[in-house]
A and B are shown apart, each in its own frame.
Chain A
Amino acid sequence: DAGVIQSPRHEVTEMGQEVTLRCKPISGHNSLFWYRQTMMRGLELLIYFNNNVPIDDSGMPEDRFSAKMPNASFSTLKIQPSEPRDSAVYFCASSLAGAGNQPQHFGDGTRLSIL
């Protein structure tokens, strides 16, 4: 079975540029999560979608960050304009909510470096 697919795996760009991270959740999953991981702060939840609707975006650091889920098989996380402090590994995860205790399954992440 295909797991959560993220692209790109690595992104290096200059400060001020727009960055778009992409995620394809596991087919049939109705919950999608975006996380950010840094050495200082560990893994942090940025935003959570259920049935393509954003439920909680309280973890989104600033207005520079936005996330969309236009359909059940695709989500994007956009940073505009990007700053060096946004450098981190960004993970997408999906799960089947409302079906008991199904775990979240993570992609391999996008390693983002803002110069």
Chain B
Amino acid sequence: DAKTTQPTSMDCAEGRAANLPCNHSTISGNEYVYWYRQIHSQGPQYIIHGLKNNETNEMASLIITEDRKSSTLILPHATLRDTAVYYCIVRVPNSGGSNYKLTFGKGTLLTVNP
């Protein structure tokens, strides 16, 4: 899996957009970008994933640059409950064979302040 680089920590004011960057300059053509988060004392929670097009769901938006070497997770209106560690992971889809590993790095601790 391609290596990712994320800032160690970020702050965001409640109600504002939180923009979390991720660099993945060695990503290969068939690797997807996945985002997970882990709220304290809970299991990792899937947020969103994408290949090359921008994606949006009820939780967040994912913006992937045209060269796919970086991406940004956007939480449009951050709340205190969004305080968590956010993980950016790149990998090929799990086909039931060898492409199953999720390698979690250290992630970004996002703190949403009142």
Q: Which residues does A use to contact B, with CB under 8 Å?
A: 4, 30-31, 33, 42-43, 45, 48, 50-51, 55-56, 91, 93, 95, 97-98, 100-109
Contacts and interface: CB of A to CB of B under 8 A. Distances in A.
A30 B96 contact: yes
A31 B42 contact: no
Contacts of B46: 103-105
**Do most interface residues of chain B lie in helix, strand or loop, or is the interface mixed?**
loop
A104 B104 contact: no
A36 to B, nearest CB: 11
Interface residues of B, number: 22
Interface of B: 32, 34, 36, 41-46, 49, 51, 93-97, 100-102, 104-106
A101 B49 contact: yes
Contacts of B44: 43, 91, 93, 106
B9 to A, nearest CB: 16
Contacts of A91: 43-44
Contacts of B97: 50, 55
Contact of B100 (A31, A106, A109): A31
Nearest to B48: A103
Given A50-B97, A101-B93, 12 more contacts: A30-B96, A31-B94, A42-B104, A42-B105, A45-B102, A56-B100, A91-B44, A93-B44, A101-B51, A102-B94, A107-B43, A108-B42
A55 B95 contact: no
Closest 6 CB pairs of A and B: A106-B43, A101-B93, A97-B96, A98-B96, A103-B46, A43-B104
Contacts of A105: 46
Given A101-B32, A103-B49, A106-B44, A45 B95 contact: no
Contacts of A4: 43
B15 to A, nearest CB: 28
Contacts of A109: 42-43
